A and B are shown apart, each in its own frame.
Chain A
């Protein structure tokens, strides 16, 4: 191999690395809208096309447009599966006091539950539990991890 082609290869590698890292930065910033996580990492699915979780802004429990769309999909799924019950887990990020976060997780889970109920799902099928900041899905101390942890997750019970 000539020196020239070697250099070319090295340059190519450097170029690709730069491109890739540029992509990953772009992806990260693109995954948060304001303060709310909008990405797909950490998300699991109740069924094909039915995400199990919605995300919240810091100290907030209001549902975003995207969250409402996700919950409508969950409602459709639950209507189709009449014998299925779920528990909605409410979570908070680590940047708050423990006791307040327990209350905040409860409020978030109930925001999701209330929305599912307006779409005809019986409250009897929807139980709620708050874990506050106790069960982070992403253990990193970073804004992106915190946004992934501010969530309510719909989990099948049976």
Chain B
């Protein structure tokens, strides 16, 4: 991954943090999204050509990506550009606030860019129109081919300024791309930007692959593969493409995830029909047994501080969610509601666990507090599972399958996302059918 060269130039402009400034509350469903005007970034006429980048339209394109990001949050209402009242370069210097207020905008984003010497220089400003002042501003330099990421980074900075929380736009999603008939599915690892662009396939589809998950730095992925008909957990370096089996287990390993420090992989190992949870240290290769029980223990997920592990087990008869210390001690069942619970995933904020629940022939994605209290079911469907958190802990992505007819017709698998408020459920567009999504952390942190 080409690292962004980050040059913080700004904050030389006066940034006023007085409470009068606009704020967006993201802790509840927002029925009144904030009207925001995203002016196209002004393209400096001194800009030079760069490879296949369309320099002339770059400012327009970046603003469109920002608008799409904002719209998808459900928290913002990007206004139509035909109502815009000022040229991008002039607005960027100092907007005529009263004119922008006329079109009912409350916030305005302006910016400009210059390509010169194979570098893309971008700056943007966020304006509070009611208070008639600048809220934040930033400038940075990167390679021109990174222009989509520029749009996502700007989106993140604005989201952060307006909501008080980290954004999740400069991120990627790794998932399993599916094709072919339901009983002969071809599955490949695929990776895309959070907004569905830049899809790349990481495996060819020769063998079945399942459940990819990022490490904390997003360079490595752990997943399960049936390579040579040996179902095992693998480790893949996305940049170099090298991969290796994790450990030397004499049987199936599955359900892998990284520890929050990225040093270990936690997974299930099945021996003589019984699945227990193990960790392997990637550096020392030391394997540690975490659970020892005659029931199925699987789908382990660390708490963000690494001190606890949530997992599901059928030791009480049917699948329920349990939490234990990371050494395997102090196992406590936390789900007691009606139904079966699986796939616990600890929120990156540490306060919630997302899960899949099955009850009376329906599947739910929900969240609960880490002691199992405060269960909230966010969405109900025929089949859906495997939630994964946005890095700020506000959105979940999961996959959903449809019912199929006698020949498997009508079957599909798609990615969806929903805010933990239960609002803003929407499909993530993928080039093929898709399942097992895993959200990266912020790339430019």
Contacts and interface: CB of A to CB of B under 8 A. Distances in A.
B318 A129 contact: no
Interface in B310-328: 312, 314, 318-319
A94 B273 contact: no
Contacts of A97: 299, 312, 319, 342-343, 356, 358, 385-386
B240 interface: no
Given A97-B299, A114-B273, A103 B268 contact: yes
A134 interface: yes
A107 interface: yes
Given A59-B314, A94-B383, A134-B208, A99 B268 contact: yes
Given A97-B343, A141-B403, A102 B254 contact: yes
Interface in A91-124: 94-100, 102-104, 106-107, 109-111, 113-114
A107 B251 CA distance: 12
A145 to B, nearest CB: 8
B183 interface: yes
A26 B185 CA distance: 33
Given A102-B231, A103-B270, A139 B404 contact: yes
Contacts of A130: 231, 252, 270
Contacts of B181: 139
Interface in A113-156: 113-114, 128-131, 134-142, 145
B385 A98 contact: yes
B103 to A, nearest CB: 48
A110 B299 contact: no
B407 interface: yes
Given A104-B296, A139-B408, A99 B183 contact: no
A61 interface: yes
B431 to A, nearest CB: 21
A109 B403 CA distance: 27
Contact of B411 (A61, A111, A139): A139
B193 interface: no
Contacts of B299: 97, 99-100
B23 to A, nearest CB: 38
A142 B356 CA distance: 21
A138 B436 CA distance: 22
A139 B407 CA distance: 6
Given A103-B296, A107-B296, A98 B268 contact: no
B251 to A, nearest CB: 8
B273 A99 contact: no
B385 to A, nearest CB: 5
A138 to B, nearest CB: 8
B182 A139 contact: yes
A140 B408 contact: yes
A145 B211 CA distance: 25
B406 interface: yes
A100 B273 contact: no
A30 to B, nearest CB: 19
B136 interface: no
B383 A111 contact: no
B275 A106 contact: yes
Contacts of B405: 140-141
Contacts of A140: 404-408
B383 A99 contact: no
Nearest to A139: B408
Contacts of A100: 296, 298-299, 312, 314, 319, 342
B182 A136 contact: yes
Contacts of B404: 139-141
A136 B296 contact: no
Interface string B343-377: 10000000000001010010000000000000000
B189 interface: no
B185 A103 contact: no
Contacts of B298: 99-100, 102-103
A128 B268 CA distance: 16
Contacts of A136: 182-183
Nearest to B409: A139
Interface of A: 59, 61, 94-100, 102-104, 106-107, 109-111, 113-114, 128-131, 134-142, 145
A-B pairs, 7 with minimum CB distance: A110-B273, A139-B408, A139-B182, A103-B275, A97-B342, A141-B403, A99-B255
Given A97-B358, A99-B343, A138-B183, 14 more contacts: A97-B299, A97-B319, A97-B385, A97-B386, A98-B210, A98-B435, A99-B255, A102-B254, A103-B296, A106-B270, A111-B273, A134-B210, A139-B182, A141-B411
25 contacts: A59-B318, A59-B319, A96-B319, A96-B342, A98-B211, A99-B254, A99-B255, A99-B342, A100-B312, A100-B319, A102-B231, A102-B298, A103-B254, A107-B273, A107-B274, A107-B275, A107-B296, A128-B273, A134-B210, A136-B182, A138-B183, A139-B182, A139-B183, A139-B408, A141-B403
